[in-house]
Structure 1
Amino acid sequence: MKYVKPSAIRELLQFGANPDIISFAGGYPDPQLFPLEQLTDIFHTAVSQHGRNALQYTVSNGIPRLREQLAAKMEGEGVTCTADDVLILQGGQQGLDLVAKMFINPGDLIITENPTFLGALIAFAPCEPRYKAVTVDEDGMVVDELEEMLKQNLKVKFLYTTPDFHNPTGVTLSLQRRKRLIELANQYDFIILEDSPYRDLRYQGTSVPPIKSFDTEGRVIYLGSFSKVLAPGLRIGWAVASRKITEGLGLLKLAADTQTSTLNMVAVSTFLDTCDVNALLASIRQTYLHKKELMLDTMRKTFPQHVSFTDPKGGLFTWLTFAKDFDATKFLAEKAVPLAKVAYVPGATFYPVTQEMNHARLSYSLQSDQLLVEGISRLGQVLRDHQHHA
């Protein structure tokens, strides 16, 4: 437990409950996009038609129909798999926890992007790994840097990546780098943990195939989630991996929670069978594209010129970079929250090895247009005031 620290995200999500604070901290989807009417009907149908079966225990790896649907979805993305290669999870986060339990012994080396998803670091921490981190640029993880690292005869347990609309930076790993990453994994014999909860949220540019689609040796574990597409409260995610790995993860899941909610699995499966998922995705993508452009346009108008930010083609986040001597954690506590009544996630907490203080992650997904513009404008004002008095 000494490696399990309070999460900056958990602490900052508390701002979401304070009506005086405009929070850009949590990666919350816009609740206005939840398909409320359809889910209301579907849950009624699940109980009335499937009756007691929908309320009973079921197999620990997930109901067969939902696993078939997800296998078909992954096949459509170029991934060769069957329902037996799919494990239904209690949200994508459970996949991180189970993979950590299955693979990490104390002192094992994990490679991540630099920065990387804080939730993964939280999941891995109790298993006591060591980390090496690879630079991220506009095309994702710099694979050439990774290759130089691997030439040092490192014994790598697995590499963790968020290739689609990376959390926290919003960038996407290029096709060329995905293919090279698989080659390096094959050559240097390590597992790739491909965490892709934002994959369906592309609203600009062309989709890039999953890393898993290039996997010929069964060394990629793919994690997906319905949290950003349907609703996070359903807690439905999935893993796709080789049969040996999914069976091992399934045994760990059985020990952890027996199974994911039968009722929620039936509801999601029914949604996929009966509702227009493409129409829902089109609406979500249009909304988030608008919100992203509104946030970035407001930043361009109100932020000091030296503050840079990423322009993601999908997902929920933009990544801010301030002057080298700027402390985003201190500024949040002393200026952003008390003066602007605005919250964000300081960037330092996303670095697994050496923290960098001059970054912040902002999510554009949750707030209304009015609050988004108001919050970013307020933040811009205190940033300009801070610069003026510096």
Structure 2
Amino acid sequence: MNYANRMNDLKPSDIREVMKLIASNPGTISFAGGLPDPDLFPREEMRKATDKVMRESPHVALQYGLTLGRISLREKIAGLMKREGVEAEVENIAVTTGSQQAITIAAMMYMEEEDVIITENPSYLGAISAFKPFSTNIIGVDGDEEGMMIDQLEQAIKRTPKAKLIYVIPNFQNPTGRTWSLERRKALLEVAKRHDLIVLEDNAYGEVRFEGDRIPSIKSMDTEGRVLYFGSFSKILSPGLRVGWVCADKGIIGKYELVKNGMDLQSAELAQMQVDGFLESNDLDEHIGKINSVYKMRRDLMLKTIKKEFPEDAKYYYPKGGMFIWVELPSHMNTRELLHRAIERKVAFVPGGSFYPEGGCESSMRLNFSTMQNEKIVDGIKILGELLRESI
């Protein structure tokens, strides 16, 4: 078949491959996917919202709609942006089919062949996959507990004159769970200004906070329209609805409309109306509070069990929110090999090497704590601890 050359760079997602392994091993304790707990979905509230839509406006819900999304929903999203310190209007918002589509459209809009995208090292696997089809080069910059190391970012830019975008996840980063400090956010924006780069700020996990104060978004400090902010309802309402958004300068949103129109015409009208109806009739903060109380308990339990069961030379990070715990093991260990032994014991995780855009660090792993019940968290971590001690 005469596929486009870009297809040569596409490889199966490690996460999806792990999910296949899980599917073929029923009863597996999974720390692999970044899935919300389905027991925490607002089922009854969404049923009521759906009933109202289909009773009062079925002719609208089942019809084509605006490419940029429903105006009433975009108004509510603009209101949510104030929580991030951003004064936005409807014209600054485009509804997307999940924030994943927002990332993909940004790559389509900005990247020419051989252009460079700079990401954190490690970074969100879904973003790396979204960037790959555009024949771009992806460079990872290391970080610490405060975020991307700015001196290394400067060096990377100097080495790569074709750098165009910087993609970051400042809150509860996937996969490490780290949160950027305010100083590091300011420094990143200054670098972007100095080198005339676009910043893609992904905040998919920002509302899943267990402790600490909300830190102003990078977008809130943007005075030049060079920051695109991505948000999503997937982690706080339902990923199956596939409703996300981008907040950006009006001119950028206009370009989004052109690309999205050619991609899918619009995001699903019914799903938008379901989200809109939920926000209209329910207290979003109350719902988020219920989610966060459960996830915090599971985070604490997983950390406590890791401390007890993992070898002393396993390094792990303390996330203040989000869904993941990042573990780094001695460099001679290979977590891809460990995964196959773990699957035999009916435990799954995601090997960390796939989160590095330039490869490497095969001795790391990402553990998700949001989905499994307490007893399974304890049982699964105990099994991983046994396997790690055997390996060491």
* TM-score, normalized by the shorter chain, greater than 0.5: yes
**Does structure 1 residue 178 correspond to structure 2 residue 180?**
no
CA–CA distance in structure 2, aligned partners of residues 269 and 139 of structure 1 = 35
Corresponding residue for residue 346 of structure 2: 341
* 2:117 maps to amino acid: I
Distance 1:112 1:60 in 2: 29
Q: Quickly say closer, same or farther: Cα 1:263–1:19, change in 2 above 3 A.
A: same
Letter in 1 for 2:192: A
Contact 1:97 1:124 in 2 (8 A): yes
The question of whether the paired residues in 1 share the 8 Å contact of 2:163 and 2:197 is answered with yes
Unaligned ranges ≥5, structure 2: 1-6
Aligned counterparts, 1:157-236, within 5 A: 157-236=164-243
Match of 2:316 in 1: 309
Map of 1:360 onto structure 2: 365
- What are the Cα deviations for residues 83-124 of structure 1, in whole angstroms up to 9, with x where unaligned? 111000000100111111111111001111111111011101
**1:121: which partner in 2?**
128
- SS in structure 2 of the partner of residue 199 of structure 1: coil
Task: Give 1:270 shift.
Answer: 1.0
2:57 is paired with a residue whose SS is helix
| Contact in 1 for aligned 2:338/2:387 (Cα 8 Å) | no
1:27 to 7, 31, 34: 34
In structure 1, what is the Cα distance between the partners aligned to 2:187 and 2:390? 46
Question: For each residue in 1:316-374, what CA deviation from the matched residue of structure 2 results, as whole angstroms up to 9, or x when unmatched?
Answer: 011110001111111112x2111x21111101111111411110011001111111111
How far the C-alpha of 1:79 sits from its partner, in A, is 0.9
In structure 1, what is the Cα distance between the partners aligned to 2:257 and 2:126? 21
Count, aligned residues: 385
8 A Cα contact 2:116 2:160, kept in partner: no
Shift of residue 16, structure 1, vs aligned partner: 4.5
Matched, 1:384 2:389: yes
State how far apart, in whole Å, the 2-side matches of 1:13 and 1:68 are.
Answer: 37
Offset of residue 153 of structure 1: 6.8
> Aligned letter for 2:362?
M
Which residue of structure 1 lines up, in the alignment, with residue 117 of structure 2? Answer: 110
CA contact (8 A) 1:140 1:172 kept: yes
Letter in 2 for 1:131: I
Amino acid corresponding to residue 275 of structure 2 in structure 1 = V
> What do the CA deviations read for 1:182-211 (whole angstroms, capped 9, x no partner)?
111111100000111000001111111111
In structure 1, stretches of 5+ residues that fail to align are none
Per-residue deviation, residues 237-285 of structure 1 (Å, max 9, x unmatched):
0001111111111111111111111111011011111101111111111
> TM-score normalized by structure 2?
0.96
Classify the secondary structure of the residue corresponding to 2:9.
Answer: coil
3-state SS in 1 of match to 2:8: coil
Please report the RMSD computed on the Cα atoms of aligned residues, expressed in angstroms. Answer: 1.2
Answer yes or no: is 1:86 the counterpart of 2:93. Answer: yes
1:170–1:318 contact (8 Å) kept in structure 2: yes
Aligned to 1:238: 245
Shift of 1:150: 3.0
Paired amino acid for 2:140:
A
Task: Provide the C-alpha distance between the structure 2 equivalents of 1:298 and 1:146, rounded to a whole number of angstroms.
Answer: 36
Name 2:143's counterpart in structure 1.
136
Q: Provide Cα deviations, 1:43-98, integer angstroms capped at 9, x if missing partner.
A: 01111012311111110100000001111111232112211110000001001111
Q: How far has the Cα of 1:151 moved from its partner?
A: 4.2
| 8 Å CA contact retained: 1:15, 1:23 | no
Distance 2:323 2:329 in 1: 20
The answer for the alignment partner of 2:376 in structure 1 is 371
Percentage of identical aligned residues: 41
Match of 2:280 among 256, 260, 273: 273
**1:7 and 2:18 aligned:** no
- C-alpha deviation, 1:15, in angstroms: 4.2
- TM-superposed CA distance for 1:181, in Å, is 0.9
Q: C-alpha separation between the residues in 2 aligned to 1:121 and 1:248?
A: 22
C-alpha distance in structure 2 between counterparts of 1:148 and 1:157, whole Å: 14
> What is the TM-score with the length of structure 1 in the denominator?
0.96
